[in-house]
Structure formats: C-alpha cells, structure tokens
Amino acid sequence: MRSLLAGRDTCVVMPTGGGKSLCYQLPGAMQPEKTVIVVSPLIALMQDQVAQLTQMGIPAALLNSSLASGEQSQVMRKARAGAYRLLYLSPERLAREDTLEWLQDIPISLFAIDEAHCISEWGHEFRPEYRQLSRLRVNFPDRPIAAFTASATQRVRHDIIHQLQLRDPHKYIASFHRPNLRYVVRCCDGRSQPDLLIRALRSYEDGNIIVYAPTIAKVEATAEFLCGKGIPAIPYHGQMDAGERRLNQERWMSDDVRVLVGTIAFGLGINKAAVRAVIHLSLPKSIEQYYQEAGRAGRDGLPADCVLLWQKRDAGLLAHFIEQVSDAAEKQRAWQRYHEIRGFAESSRCRHLQICRHFGETPKWKTCDACDVCGSEPDWLAAPEEVETAALRKLKSRPTSKGRPIQPLRAQKDAPAEVDPGLREFLREWRRETAKQQKVPAFVVMHDTTLDEICRYRPGSIAALLQISGIGERKAVLYGEKILAALRQFRVQARAAGTDH
C-alpha cells in the first residue's frame, strides 16, 4: 500500500485470501477525486467487489457487457468527473481504442491488474487479451501499475514484470506455505471414487465444501448423484443459464446449500472464509491451478482439507488434449506442467514442500505433519467402513508444521465454545433474508467471521456493535438497529424455550 501511495510500480504475489484486493482498494479509498482502474477477468468477480465497496460507502463501478448501453454511458460520464474511487474493467474492454481515449480524461491514480499470471504464456491460465495490457505503459507513462496474483512461479513473475513494462517494481512475495491446509492425494478408480467422495462429504459436518469435476457432464452427474445419496449439492458450470449460475453461487455463499460441484469456472474471487474442504475429482492441468483452487479452503485460518481423488485415466485424458495443441512452444509448456502435476500426485515427498519449491520457496523444515505423505490422513480415508458421525467420535487434535495443536475439522463448530450454534444459525437466516432483499450475495452483507464475533460478544448498543471487526460506520447505519433487534428477538425466543445462556 505504501508503495502504491508513493506512486511505485509493484508486483504482488499472495496466496488466495491473503489480502490482495485490500492492497489496491484501501489506497483507492484514501485518495479523493482520483480513481484506481482495476483490470479483472470475470464479470461476477467485478460485481461482487463493487457491491462490497458500495456497502462500505466507497464509490465504485464496473464497465462491461453486463450493463445496458445507457448505464455504460452514465458510468463513463461519472468516471470523467472523478466520481469513483475504483472502476473495474475487463482486459477486453481495456484493449479497445475508444476505452484508451476516454480513460485519458479520468483522474487515474494507478492501474491494478488482477490475476496477472494470465499475461504470461508460462502461466497456467494464459489469456491473449491480457497481452494488450502492455499498452498501458505507452498510453499512461506517468501512472503506476500494480500486478497481483496468487499463483506465479519465478519465471512467470519475471514475465509479468517484462510484459507490463514495470519500472524497478517493488516486489512483495508472500510465503506459499499454508500450514492450516492438509493436502491429501489418493489414486483411485471409477468404482471407489464415488464411495470416497460420499464418505468425505459426510465427515465434514460444518462449513462449506467445493467439489471440482473435470467436465460439465461430470459436474451434473456428481451433483445429481450426491442429492440421490441425501447430500444436498448444486452444480456450477459455464453452460448454465447466467441467472441460474449466479443463483447457485449465491445459495452456496449464503449457506442454503453447503456443497457446490463445479468446473474450474467456479472460484475466482470467491470471498468465502469457512470452506472446510476442496475436493478435486480429477488431476488438474498444473500445480499452479491446483494450488489456486485448493487454496480456496481454510481462508479463515482454521484447519481445512485439500483432497485430490484422481484416476490414472485422468493423466491419459490430459495427455490426449496436450497432443491436440498445434503450437509447438505451447505444447512443450503443457507437457512440462503435466509432468509437474503428475510428479506431485505420485511423489512420496511432503506435499507442502513440493508446492513451496515449485514456486521458488525453500523452507527450512522437511516435514509438515499436514499431508498424507507426512502421516496425516482424515479418518474417512483411512477407514473402510462408513464414517461415524462426529458426535460418536472422540475428538483428537492434530499438529501443524509448527507444532501447535489444532482442533480436528469436525470439532470446529464447538470452537470457540462461547459461540451459540442456535444464535449463529438465527443470524445467518437474518443475513440470508437481508441479502435476498438487497439482491446481493450474503457475504456482501456480512462475513462469517463478523457474524461469529457478534455471536461471541452479543453487543447491546450501536457503540458496542462498532467494536466488532467488520462493522464500520456505514454497516452500522445500514444494519445496526436490525442486528440489535435480531439479537433481542433471539433472546426472547431462547427465554421462552428455556434455553438462554
């Protein structure tokens, strides 16, 4: 943030949930009558971030094909007047000549390039339209450019800096080690995989779960299979109607349904902290892709599982698609990624260590105690029989790589003990209804961590509510009285039922 406020080019690599958005949003909020131009690849991601900023009283807007022409003209007019602190554009929009022309009239403070690994042919999600962003330096030579990504190897980082023509950039590379995640890899077959998936899903009794499937057909079939087994699950993929896809995402975000089965189209920018497991049903295309997708688990810092249930035929399918690539250089890069992810899946070396070394980080430790190779496996994987419910189990703690005991995943609904599960569900229902009325995702109204803190402290006034992390003056004005009323209503109902603590 200091680098950006000082007008320096920057390159920022932080894991999923590490705070990348805050790095450019806060400087944007601090500079009145100036605008941060944010380049983002997904319409849904832009919409969510603009909704969150607006809720906090920070003027923000987006400009893309989802807006009617009249709305687009209005956004452009207000942008020229410096009305927005942050303005979100797609790389395709920014590549247009007319866009570059009217941007010259906007009081731009800096350019923030999100998912910057897309600019590199060595990146796992190369997008040709990102190459056009090199024109920013030519057209706006005096404006700082900041590149942000969660998954970039050393080679990709150098390519990002080269392609964007960053000038002596300040580099911030966070550690790729996330000790609260447990990596579990199991090679299985078509008969055992569904059974393992069912056992896994029944063992995680709290928090949300993402299941990644390799194809649209597999997404639909898996969601239907799970529902048939009594596990409510919803699908998400690129060929669904946009409204239905959005609705399914919002149902998952607001805890209506805990399990979402999706293709890799799901997840970019998802701001959900309490994801207890991410389960892959096929071998990803690269370690970078796997790290980014698996990293959507455990953003709240609590233990979470990253499970890869792959089959030998996945490798054959990846190889088949690589052979269809006509460009020789791209084919070579694809084969390199293939050998890296296959090596990760079949190796007997610590999973955390492999990931860190892949991204150019050399940890001092040799074993993590938080992956299957280092001896940490979930009960549902080790036990051949149907997993018992958590209520029947004796809960055991498991260590992290730093030796601190962490409560098992299924114990988390009891930690911290002072959070009343009944009150939490009562407030979640209030949040769901509020989000539905405002037509925004539930996390835009309030994050899970804020909701839990309200449960813990049960504020009795607006002043006390303002002491809760995540409740600022704007949120207090919007929701303060309603939250206090909900707390009073719960107290009355609990007394009537004789369950108030």
Measured CA to CA, the distance from residue 49 to residue 268 in angstroms comes to 12
Give pLDDT < 70 ranges for the chain. 267-270, 382-417, 498-501
Measured CA to CA, the distance from residue 56 to residue 472 in angstroms comes to 8
pLDDT at position 301 is 87
Percent of the chain with pLDDT strictly greater than 70: 91
pLDDT at position 44 is 76
| Reported pTM | 0.81
CATH architecture, range 2-173: 3-Layer(aba) Sandwich (3.40)
pLDDT at position 253 is 82
pLDDT at position 495 is 83
Q: Which fold has domain 181-207+274-410?
A: Rossmann fold (3.40.50)
pLDDT at position 267 is 67
pLDDT at position 261 is 96
- Please report, for residues 48, 266, 411, the alpha-carbon distance to residue 386 in angstroms, rounded to integers and kept in the order given: 39, 30, 19
Q: Among residues 147, 123, 150, which one has the least CA distance to residue 18?
A: 150
Kindly report, as residue ranges, where domains of CATH 1.10.150.80 are found in the chain.
421-497
Kindly report, as residue ranges, where domains of CATH 3.40.50.300 are found in the chain.
2-173
pLDDT at position 96 is 87
Strands 398-399 and 405-406 come out as: antiparallel
Q: Among residues 313, 303, 304, 307, which one has the least CA distance to residue 196?
A: 307
Measured CA to CA, the distance from residue 79 to residue 106 in angstroms comes to 6
- The angle formed by the CA atoms of residues 466, 467 and 469, to the nearest 5 degrees, is 95
pLDDT at position 141 is 95
Q: Among residues 275, 333, 337, 342, which one has the least CA distance to residue 310?
A: 342
User: 421-497 has which CATH code?
Assistant: 1.10.150.80
Tens digit of pLDDT for each residue in 161-172? 999 999 999 999
pLDDT at position 417 is 46
